[in-house]
A and B are shown apart, each in its own frame.
Chain A
Amino acid sequence: MNHAIRRYWPLFVLPTVLAFLIGFLAPFLMGLYLSFCQFTTVSDATFVGLDNYIRAFTDPSSNFLHAMWYTALFAFLSTAVVNLAGLTAAVCLTRNIRGRNLFRTVLFMPNLIGGIVLGWLWQVILGGVLARYGKTLVTSEWYGFFGLMLLTLWQQAGYMMIIYISGLNAIPEELTEAASIDGASPWQTFLRVKLPMLMPSITICTFLTLTNGFKLFDQNLALTNGAPSGRSELLALNIFNTFYGRIGWEGAGQAKAVIFFLIVTGIALLQLRLTSTREVQH
């Protein structure tokens, strides 16, 4: 079997592998190399060692360190808020209440709308609310921050709710019944029986929200575009602006991108290890 399939590799794997080479692997390796070079296009690169990395961190106008902690704060806070909201909604909407399918439909819908469209939509609404208090979204970086939080909550809570609902539905009823026969209160049943059984869903949801939070770009671009003066830039937008907004900073931009990649990968691995060790086998 194995042997018969093997010679068909040009048909089965070659198209995907070629596209993967063009669309990911070659750009990735070139990007890694270019982060050590001075360049404006790919062909005029000259090796400069760690210069770009030093410039990314030390030049105060590059805003990189600010973007880093601003992004981390956003990613962790939004992970907490979105998952709390999604899990609460899932617990309520797995109970037999009237209209629950309609509620699920409505809560999930914003997830299908793209980040650019969402950003502009919320810019109008938040701008309208803030205008009553004589403020705008770009008065300080914190208005943009909480705007992004609200937007992210609105967009992603329904998605996480759907994943939590499928997790809750997979819990065998005997378990929760046994717990209530043993005299456990609904709250105890939730904490001691359902929550441990939900760990796989929690792993997935926190992974998705955390990496989404770190990678967020479109919403940031459309909502504030980093205003005031780059203070509300998340890392992805900061890198984009370094690349395409400043002449001669391509190298520093690529160095920032490499650091960004290392942060995202590191956090993803750490998060997967932390939550997946708490999963119960069943």
Chain B
Amino acid sequence: MTTSSKKRGRRRLSGPILTLVFSVISLVYLYPLFIMAVNSFKKKAFISRAPFALPTDSRMFAGLSNYQLGIARTDFWMSLIYSVVITVLSVALILLCTSMCAWYISRVENRITRALYLAFIFSMVVPFQMVMFTLSKVANTLHLNTPLSIPIVYLGFGAGLAVFLFTGAMRSVPLAVEEAAMIDGCTPPAIFFHVVLPILQPVCVSTGILQAMWIWNDYLLPYLVLDVKRYRTIPIAVQYLKGGYGSVDMGAMMAVLTLAILPIVLLYLFCQRYIVSGVMAGAVKG
């Protein structure tokens, strides 16, 4: 009796304490983003000199001038469009092609499909530096250096993870349903699109989220493959602000960083449940 009441007492006590501790941690977590947003409204001299000061004084306050400069220097809105186009097209292509490929690999079992599966798994571990030089040359030769054609490169380099996640999920698709559809005279493409794909929908969501997070934030692949004089995605635009040799305009940098982070935070707040469960599902299978 005494021990159980003691235990209960401790638990009741530690709940609010934990809430307090995590409230502090959460504030610390959000602080860098707050500092970034605050500094985007400060004159550049005060960003490096007094990064933690609020722009309360009119000498420090820069209004929207950092934003105007940053947007003009990086051509930010075009970068946003390129990033959206590349991410959406690549994810769509990856989901469509690799789900089909994974179904074939898990339904037709022979030496070739097994070797293919192993090659896909293998590609997941290989660091990008191993292929960066040759990949950029191959992509250049085949004219895969525009926002509309680079999704093919992403399909190739991202196929490993996607095929792996989809073949893992194939086990949960009941074979009996597919066989019944076959007996009813459905062709394999019809079975795939009408029977298999709807069952795979949750995996499509989690695979899509993982791939979108990667492609949206990817810097090196598009930097080496795309024609960067014409097409810059958001990470390339941010890095481009640094320029060749000169020092960085920190005011413009803070403004561009804020603009780069804002859409992601908004998207996260709206689709949080999908993103978190997508990451969970991807990790359990990975």
What is the distance, in angstroms, from B48's C-beta to the closest C-beta of chain A? 7
User: Is B126 in contact with A28, judged by CB distance below 8 angstroms?
Assistant: yes
User: Is A23 in contact with B219, judged by CB distance below 8 angstroms?
Assistant: no
Residues of A within 8 A of B159 (CB): 16, 19-20, 23-24
A37 to B35, CA, bound (A): 49
The verdict on A257 contacting chain B, using a C-beta distance below 8 Å, is yes
Q: Which of A100, A110, A261 contacts B127 (CB 8 A)?
A: A261
A211 to B178, CA, bound (A): 38
The verdict on A247 contacting chain B, using a C-beta distance below 8 Å, is no
With A34-B134, A99-B22 known as contacts, the answer to whether A124 contacts B29 (CB < 8 A) is: no
User: Is B15 in contact with A97, judged by CB distance below 8 angstroms?
Assistant: yes
Q: Which of A41, A116, A257 contacts B129 (CB 8 A)?
A: A257
User: Is A12 in contact with B156, judged by CB distance below 8 angstroms?
Assistant: no
A108 to B29, CA, bound (A): 10
Instruction: Identify which of B54-62, B71-79, B197-205, B250-258 touches chain A.
Output: B250-258
A121 to B37, CA, bound (A): 10
Residues of B within 8 A of A97 (CB): 15-16, 18-19, 22
Interface residues of A: mostly helix, strand, loop or mixed?
helix
What is the distance, in angstroms, from A223's C-beta to the closest C-beta of chain B? 12
- Interface size of B by CB at 8 A reads 96
What is the distance, in angstroms, from B212's C-beta to the closest C-beta of chain A? 10
Counting contact residues on chain A (CB < 8 A from B), the size range is: 35 or more
User: Is A23 in contact with B156, judged by CB distance below 8 angstroms?
Assistant: yes
**Residue of B21, B261, B272 most packed against chain A (CB within 10 A):** B261
What is the distance, in angstroms, from B68's C-beta to the closest C-beta of chain A? 19
Q: Which of B22, B48, B155 contacts A127 (CB 8 A)?
A: B48
With A19-B152, A204-B283 known as contacts, the answer to whether A112 contacts B144 (CB < 8 A) is: no
Which residues of B are in contact with A by a Cβ distance under 8 Å? 15-16, 18-19, 21-23, 25-26, 29-30, 32-33, 35-36, 39, 47-48, 50-52, 97-98, 100-101, 103-105, 107-109, 116, 119-120, 123, 125-135, 137-139, 142, 144, 152-157, 159-160, 163, 175, 178-179, 182, 187-189, 192, 213, 216-220, 234-235, 238-239, 250, 253-254, 257, 260-261, 264-265, 268-269, 272, 275-276, 279-280, 283-284, 286
Apart from A114-B217, A117-B261, A166-B280: 13 A-B pairs, beta carbons within 8 A: A15-B155, A20-B120, A22-B142, A23-B152, A30-B138, A96-B15, A115-B217, A163-B283, A215-B128, A217-B219, A217-B220, A218-B235, A250-B133
Closest 8 pairs between A and B when the two form their complex, measured CB to CB: A23-B156, A114-B217, A128-B51, A19-B156, A27-B134, A12-B104, A27-B131, A27-B135
